[in-house]
Amino acid sequence: MPGWRVRAAGPLAAAALVAVAAACGQSAAPPVPAAPPAAAPSGLVPVTVGVPGDLAQAPFDTARTALVPAGWTMSVWARVPKARLAVWAPDGALLVSVPARGEILRLTPTGPQATASVLLERLDQPHGLAFDGATLYIAESDQIVAANYADGRVGENRVVAAGLPDARSPDLGGAYAHALKSVVAGPDGAVYFSIGSTGNISAADRTATPPRATIMRVPPGGGAAAVFATGVRNGTGLAVAPDGSVWTAVNNRDQIADPRPGPDYGKVTDYVNDHPPEAVARLTAGRELGWPYCHPDIDAGSGFVRDAQTNADGTRLDCAALPPVEQTLGAHSAPLGMSFVDGTLPQPFATGALVGVHESWNRNPPRAPEVSFFSWHDGTLGPQQTLVGGFQDQGGSRWGRPVAAVAGPDGAVYVTDDAAGAVYRIAPPGR
């Protein structure tokens, strides 16, 4: 079995992980009032984000107001610059990936805030994390690896899938817009991982080796990775539902031209503000999600619409033959981390999907970042609801951008934020 290309690191003080951390025990300056958040979605109320004194660096040197369900609280639990995806380990620690630093951090609950240590370092843009029992799967930019996890340490790794494309791939010339990958383990022992597209409408990804803009599957027990779903521009959200099905939340394309007959046909106009929506889809073997030739059609209510720039005559792909996606988010929502909860949270959030909605640049006015919830009923997901909001004020300025949300063993929700450099604890009443 091959060893790590990197070395595991020993414990590191939490303050050393935060570039802007104040000295332990130092009191923060009194917070400056912030601009009010945008109007609260139905059922949410404003709360002041709690911040321990030694974690009160920017943006928490200003009092921040979030929107949560009535009776819930929100606090800064850890400061982790550029925190991305997260998973709970069997020993009750929260593992957080930091691809910008090549690290995976281990956050251990110790009262109102976490104690942090570096679990692994010098990885190649580690992003997705998943457990199957004691086996930890890590999605690096160029490979998927697995290792045994015990007592806060990882053993030697085995490579599950190698030679994945990233910016160092010879045929990509140093450019790769979606090199970060996600991974989940299915209940049957298969391993699923995402390979994002190299760009916005880079159709050559579909015929590359291995094909990009896909979800790949490694069979139980190992073996060659094979394409499981195609036309998935950037399926960063990847999770297993309570019934064992695999789901993805997809970042669809930007700068889309208007495909409707009329004077604006084929032009980039205000149509781009709300098109195409982001897809939330159940993945089955061979499923096609259309990109870059077809996109979910919110105007017609279901199905897909042709891309006027890449598939004007329909010869590239028959969009009418594609089954509708199960749910959507607003265009340019940029869903990232996705996870399922099944009985951990109180009603009406007991069973469903949590999605970190990062929001992107390609909309005016900008859509607000949030943590979304999709309820689970009869084997499918209901419409999008906002679980946590308030990261953007009325003028469109943002102080935070959620990446991933995972329910903890204590019945709270833990949210990573790569813009604020934080991990939040959002707790229902009494937790």
Give the per-residue pLDDT at 309: 97
Mean pLDDT for the stretch of residues 326-344:
97
Mean pLDDT for the stretch of residues 126-139:
98
Give the per-residue pLDDT at 30: 41
Per the structure block, which two tokens stand in for 430? Answer: 């009494």
What is the Cα–Cα distance from 405 to 414, expressed in whole angstroms?
Answer: 6
The band of 396, judged by pLDDT with boundaries at 50, 70 and 90, is confident
Lowest mean pLDDT among 18-27, 51-60, 64-73, 187-196: 18-27
Mean pLDDT for the stretch of residues 154-172:
96
Does 104 score more than 60 pLDDT? yes
Does 195 score more than 80 pLDDT? yes
Give the per-residue pLDDT at 34: 52
- Ranges 18-27, 45-54, 390-399, most confident: 45-54
Per the structure block, which two tokens stand in for 168? Answer: 């160092």
Does 4 score more than 80 pLDDT? no
Q: Which helix (H) or strand (E) holds 104?
A: strand 103-110
Give the per-residue pLDDT at 29: 38
- Backbone torsions φ then ψ of 116, nearest 5 degrees: -110, 145
Mean pLDDT for the stretch of residues 344-368:
93
Does 55 score more than 80 pLDDT? yes
Mean pLDDT for the stretch of residues 141-159:
97
**Residue 193 near residue 128 (C-beta atoms within 8 A):** yes
Q: pLDDT above 70 covers what percent of the chain?
A: 91
CB atoms within 10 A of CB 122: 13
Give the per-residue pLDDT at 35: 53
CA torsion sign for 82, 117, 390, 237 is: positive
Average of per-residue pLDDT values in the chain: 91
Q: What is the pLDDT of residues 268-315, one digit of tens each?
A: 999 999 999 999 999 999 999 999 999 999 997 779 999 999 999 999
The residue that leads in pLDDT, 41 or 190, is: 190
What is the Cα–Cα distance from 11 to 105, expressed in whole angstroms?
Answer: 10
| Burial class, 98, CB count within 10 angstroms (exposed 0-12 / middle 13-18 / buried 19+) | buried
Give the per-residue pLDDT at 1: 44
CB atoms within 10 A of CB 170: 7
Does 192 score more than 70 pLDDT? yes
The band of 239, judged by pLDDT with boundaries at 50, 70 and 90, is very high
